[in-house]
Amino acid sequence: MTLATVQHQLSTPEGFAKAVDGKRTVSSLGWTSLGLGAAAFAFNLFSTGQAVDWAWEYIPQLLFRPDLFEYSSGRSEVWSYVYSFAPLILVPLGIILLIVHFATRKNAGANLFTDFQSRGWVGKQRYTGLQVKNGNQTVDTVLISHPSIPDESFDAIALQFQTYVTSLDKKALKAFTTSATKAGVLTGIPAAVIAPGIPAEVVIAPTQGKSEFAVVVPPAPGTTGKFKVLPIKS
């Protein structure tokens, strides 16, 4: 897939919605909340069933009773309340978050497309050799080009960055990685923030999908918003 093909695909709201894998934080939280709530409910049901020797006529009356939980490992009594009331909180929360997601996703997609048209671009991804922690995972980072920078120049910039990263000893690499993380590399930042001398238009962010290209939408001028760096479905 060429850059021209991608740009043509992203030129309409329909094409953009199909091609760009937008961040779905609310829906992810909703499904996670539902999953955890369902697991906690299953745990409640199993514990209650064991306590009454699976006499089903008593189970509905005794569900979500903290005093039915017994721990042999000496865990705090607080966990009894956590396991008991988690389904009552997490399941409704998950449903509410999913309702919010489905009610607002159309407007959110339209706003993202508008922002992309007004100030965003499609750039090439080039690995940096720098890996950063994202929670419990380690993720690769990439430099993302800007239309104003010729491909040859961008490739040279990426190679120079890779060479710099590989030249660092263990202590220096750890310090550089920490600095990049604190600067906001996980959401996307101008690479010049952590590597002065790189053109301000070049962005560094975690690898975005399997495509060679990624979508970049910088914050509106004069605002303190964050970059939106999004994968393109291959």
Query: What DSSP assignment string belongs to 23-90?
Result: --HHHHHHHHHHHHHHHHHHHHHHHHHHHTTT-TTTHHHHTT-GGG---SS---THHHHHHHHHHHHH
**Digitized pLDDT (tens) for each residue of the chain, 234 residues in all:** 788 898 888 988 888 888 886 666 677 787 889 899 899 888 888 878 877 788 888 878 778 777 666 555 555 566 677 777 888 889 889 888 888 777 666 666 678 889 999 999 999 999 999 999 998 899 999 999 999 999 999 999 999 999 999 999 999 999 999 999 999 999 999 999 999 999 999 999 999 988 999 999 999 888 888 999 999 986
CB hemisphere CA count around 205 (13 angstroms): 27
pLDDT of residue 110: 78
pLDDT of residue 98: 81
pTM of the model: 0.68
**How many domains are contained in the chain?**
2
The answer to whether residues 216 and 189 belong to one domain is yes
Structure tokens at 64: 């979500």
Q: Of 113, 133, 152, which residue sits at a domain end?
A: 113
| 201 belongs to a structural domain | yes
The answer to whether residues 109 and 125 belong to one domain is no
Q: Which of 132, 109, 96 is nearest to 12 (CA)?
A: 109
The answer to whether residues 107 and 54 belong to one domain is yes
| Type of residue numbered 125 | Q
pLDDT of residue 187: 92
pLDDT of residue 133: 93
pLDDT of residue 106: 66
Which pairing describes strands 137-144 and 203-206: parallel, antiparallel, or unpaired? antiparallel
Query: Which domain does 90 fall in, by range?
Result: 25-113
Neighbours of 164 (CB within 10 A): 14
How far apart CA 92 and CA 40 sit, in angstroms, is 13
The answer to whether residues 136 and 179 belong to one domain is yes
| Type of residue numbered 65 | R
| 13 belongs to a structural domain | no
Burial class (CB in 10 A: 0-12, 13-18, 19+), 162: middle
How far apart CA 14 and CA 9 sit, in angstroms, is 9
The secondary structure element, H or E, covering residue 166 is helix 151-167
| 2 belongs to a structural domain | no
pLDDT of residue 184: 95
The answer to whether residues 222 and 152 belong to one domain is yes
| 124 belongs to a structural domain | yes
pLDDT of residue 22: 64
pLDDT of residue 40: 85
